[in-house]
Amino acid sequence: MFNLFQGSAQGVGIEITEQRLQVAQIQKRKQDLKLAALVAAEVPEGYFQDGKVEDLEGVANLIGAVLRDNKIKAKRAALAIPSHRTVTRLIKLPAELDDLELRENILNEQVPMLLPFTRDEADIDYQKLGFTRGDDDIQYVEVLLAATRRDVTDSFIETIQKAGLTPDVLETSGFALLRTLREQLRQSFTPQEAVAIVDIGFDSTEISVVVDGVPHFTRDVPIGVQEMQSAVGRAMGIQIPRSPDWIKTMSLPTEVEGTALTDVTAPGGAQRGGAALLRVLRDLVDELRRSIDFYLDQAESQEVTQIYLAGPGSSLSQVDGFVSNRLGRPTSLVNPLSTLGLQLDQEIPAEDIPGLGVVLGLALREA
C-alpha cells in the first residue's frame, strides 16, 4: 500500500556523443508538456572510439554525476545511437508476404545486400509503414529498416546499466529528432512535399529527406564541427582546445555570389580562419546539394520545399542564411522548444536550442 502512493521515478532522455552528454526530462500534465530538467556536460577525450563507448565506467560515472548534481531522479532512460553509426533504409516488398515471410525476406535477402557488416554482427529492427502501388501497378508494403553493429549497441546499453538506469528505448538519433519535429512537419507540409533535415554533428552530418514524416533518403557526410575547428586552427596556425561550445563563438561571414563581405577582412589569422571556415561550409553545402539532387532523380520523389538545420553545428551564427543563399531553398533552424510547446522554468540560450532536438525526442519517450 505504501508503494501505491510513492509514484515511480520518471525516465529521462540521454544523448551521448563523443563531445557532449545531454540529459532531459519532460513531464506530462494533462495536455501540457513541461521541461522539468535539461543539463549538459562535456565528454572527455578518449571516452569514445570508432562510435562506441570505450570507457564505460567513465561515461557511466559522468551520467551519475550529472543526475546527482542536478537532483534528477530517474530509474529508466531512452537513449540513441548516433545515426552515422547506423544503417537506415526504406524498402518495398511484395504486399502478399505474411509476417513470417516478410521477416525471412528482410533478414535473409535484404540485410545481406544493405549492411556493410554481417547479420551476426548486427542488431536489426524494422517496422511496416503502409502499402503503396508501384509504377508496375503492383501493391507493395513499405518497410523502414534500421541496423547497427552489436558491439556499438552493447556499449551504450552497458554504460546506461552501469549508471544505475534501465534502458527502456534504444533508437537512432535521427528517429529521435524526427519525433520532435513530427507535428510541425504534419501541420506545415503535405504528403506531396519533401523536407531536408540536416543534423550537423560534431564529427559528421546526417542528411535526411523526409516525406510525410518518413525518411525516404538518408546520407552521412563526414563533415562536422570537428572538421570546421581543425580547418580554422590550421589556417590560424594555432591549436584550438577541444570544446563542444567552440562553434557558438564563431560567426559566419556574409557572402554575395561567393564573395565574403564582412568579418574575413579582419587582420592576420582571423581573416585566414574565417576563410577556412567558409571553405568547409561550402563543401558541406555542396554535399547537401548533391544529396537533394540524387533524391530528386529517384522515382516517386517529391519537391524539397524546406531545409531544416539541427545539431550542434547549427549554432554557428548565420549558417541558415548561408545555406539558403547557396541552394536557393528556404532554410531555417529547428526550434524544438516551440515545436513541442514546452513549458519552461529555466532560460535556454538561443544558440543552444537547435541542438536539443535529439535529447528532447528521447525525453518524449519517457514522458
Nearest to 124 by CA among 142, 144, 141, 140: 144
Instruction: Specify if 120 maps to a domain.
Output: yes
The answer to whether residue 157 is domain-embedded is yes
Residue 310 lies in a domain: no
Of 100, 123, 149, the residue that ends a domain is 149
Angstrom distance (rounded) from CA 126 to CA 90: 10
Query: How many residues does the structure list for the chain?
Result: 367
Q: Are strands 76-81 and 86-94 parallel, antiparallel or unpaired?
A: unpaired
CATH assignment of the domain containing 50 = 3.30.420.40
- 250-288 exposure pattern, b = at least 16 Cβ within 10 A, e = fewer: bebbebeeeebeebbeeeeeebbbbbbbbebbeebbebb
Per-residue pLDDT tens digits for 191-243: 999 999 999 999 999 999 999 888 999 999 999 999 999 999 999 888 888 88
For 102, the domain range is: 85-149
The pTM (predicted TM-score) of the whole model is 0.88
Residue 104 and residue 161 share a domain: no
Per residue in 336-356, pLDDT (tens digit) is: 999 999 999 888 999 999 999
In a domain, 240, yes or no: no
User: How many Å apart are CA 251 and CA 263, to the nearest integer?
Assistant: 8
268 part of a folded domain: no
Is residue 17 located within the same domain as residue 51?
Answer: yes
Asked if residue 170 and residue 35 are part of one domain, the reply reads yes
Instruction: Say how many domains are in the chain.
Output: 2
Are 15 and 69 contained in the same domain?
yes
Q: Does residue 256 belong to any structural domain of this protein?
A: no
CATH number at residue 133: 3.30.1490.300
| β-bridge mates for residue 143, sequence order | 91, 128
Q: Can you give the pLDDT of all 367 residues of the chain as single tens digits?
A: 233 333 345 789 999 999 999 999 999 887 889 999 999 999 999 999 888 899 999 999 999 999 999 999 999 999 999 888 888 888 899 999 999 999 999 999 998 888 888 888 889 999 998 888 877 778 999 999 999 999 999 999 999 999 999 999 899 999 999 999 998 898 899 999 999 999 999 999 999 999 988 899 999 999 999 999 999 999 988 888 888 889 988 877 655 344 443 443 334 466 788 889 999 999 999 999 999 999 999 888 999 999 999 999 999 988 999 999 999 999 999 999 999 999 998 889 999 999 999 999 999 988 8
